[in-house]
Amino acid sequence: MKKSRAERAGQENGGRKVRAVALAAAVSLGAALAFTGLMSGPAAGVKAAGPAVKIGALLPLTGGLAPFGPALQHAAELAVAQVNAEGGLWSGQPLQLVIRDTQTSPQPAIDSATKLVTLDRVPAVVGPFASGEVAAVASAVTIPQGVLLITPSATAPSITNLADKDLVFRTTSSDALQGRVMGQVAYEAGYRKVAVIYENTDYGQGQARYFAGEFEARGGKVTASVPFETGKASYRGELQRAASGSPQALLIIAYPDTGGITILRQAVEEGFFDKFLFTDGMQTSDLAKAVGASVLEGALGSGPQANPNAPTLKAFRAAYQARFGEPPLEQPFVASTYDATFLIALALERAKVAKGESIRDSLRAVANAPGEPIYPGEWAKAKQLIDAGKDIDYVGASGPVEFDAKGDIMVATVGVWRFHNGEIVTDRIITARSE
């Protein structure tokens, strides 16, 4: 029998069992999904034993995170396709994904979440993706309505302590982990004086704070920490303040389309900086296209990233390519989006009812050790074990997903990446643990 949630949370910093992950082959997709517009439906040929069970996805299809949207949508659709190709939920009910756009902005995200809950009647939601959207949607919509929310990408530390009735989870690491890794990366790269310019949101504030704490603990100095408001035409004033104190490099904590690229371009054109560091929100080759590959050659960044050698990630990537004709982009949160979607399906199967609180009560039981390991795409195996009353332990495309008492993952892998010839390449993977 599994230990209670409190017992498991109490062992957060205790010993962890070592699991050998071995997948013989990539996951078989079976029949293709049939979907129209923003509604992803059951796989062709699946005999439905009842009405479709809907879950929601709040995706950044427009706005500052729009470049990330298509791959994130595909990842969620892949998980649904695999569930339906291997029998669907319960007695054969198909799983259906209802997708709505957040526009990468809190109020549109709230509006879309309201539609998911009141019109589409979803009991669980994947997303939203920006930290400010998560806090707004959870407080205004999902928590009051008893709807489970799993964000694959919102990293603000403030999410950890939301009064959420244990209904808000995430399959990515907090900035408390990421910021510390970026501080380590900057110092090990030889920088001793770094300026920071950050989006004035929970995301930006958290990254800036934890970066400064780690960087200065190692002996570095943050010469200036400058907040900025999104969507402005010029950031020359902020850049001038950031350039004071003779920093060696500028850390940009932003999203490309809501200020990040403008800041980078003006920093180069006005001669404020020629060395740059980046966080996960800026992990896109669009930066090199904006200022030239030679300008960013060797520039470093960090962001959540699965171990590229993990068999689970390789299986996910193969399944993604088989369905969509190309591998997933080298960008953060694609694997964690898949994991969030597949986990909701696993928890639904165990709960036997499409209610947010029931899905919540089953989530740690299918995600956390102990139990029979379940890898990406292994729906038929998981379903058989769950229906037989056996414990399972999901090992995701993004890595082991083990939730603590606050809904955060206990261990995360953070990728250190750099620009080379205008493209993003991975230098190394750092394993970080929550404190």
pLDDT at 38: 59
Whole-angstrom Cα distance, residue 157 to residue 175?
6
Query: Beta 95-101 vs 148-151: how paired, if at all?
Result: unpaired
Residue 262: which H helix or E strand, with range? helix 260-269
Contact 250, 267 (CB under 8 A): yes
24-to-27, 311, 326, 367 alpha-carbon distances in Å: 9, 9, 21, 22
> Is the predicted pLDDT of residue 5 greater than 60, yes or no?
no
pLDDT at 3: 44
Whole-angstrom Cα distance, residue 168 to residue 248?
39
403-to-153, 357, 366 alpha-carbon distances in Å: 15, 16, 10
> Is the predicted pLDDT of residue 44 greater than 50, yes or no?
no
Q: Note the pLDDT tens digit of each residue in 116-146.
A: 999 999 999 999 998 889 999 999 999 999 9
> Is the predicted pLDDT of residue 244 greater than 60, yes or no?
yes
Q: Note the pLDDT tens digit of each residue in 379-422.
A: 999 999 999 999 999 999 998 899 999 999 988 888 899 999 99
Whole-angstrom Cα distance, residue 86 to residue 46?
9
Q: How confident is the model at residue 203 (pLDDT cuts 50, 70, 90)?
A: confident
269-to-155, 217, 295, 418 alpha-carbon distances in Å: 31, 33, 11, 21
Q: In what order do the strands lie in the sheet with 39-43?
A: 33-36, 39-43, 95-101, 53-59, 124-126, 148-151, 168-170
Mean pLDDT of 52-72: 93
pLDDT at 343: 98
Output the six-digit token pair for 235: 């950031």
pLDDT at 150: 98
Sign of the CA dihedral with 155 first, then 414, 284, and 200 last: positive
306 Cβ neighbours under 8 A, 6+ residues apart? 312, 313, 335, 397, 398, 399, 413
Q: Note the pLDDT tens digit of each residue in 366-377.
A: 999 999 999 999
User: Domains plus CATH for the chain?
Assistant: 5-174+307-411 (3.40.50.2300), 176-305+415-433 (3.40.50.2300)
Distance, C-alpha 365 to centroid of its chain: 21
Query: Beta 193-199 vs 249-253: how paired, if at all?
Result: parallel
pLDDT at 434: 64
Residue percentage of the chain with pLDDT more than 70: 88
What is the average pLDDT score of the chain?
Answer: 88
Whole-angstrom Cα distance, residue 301 to residue 304?
11
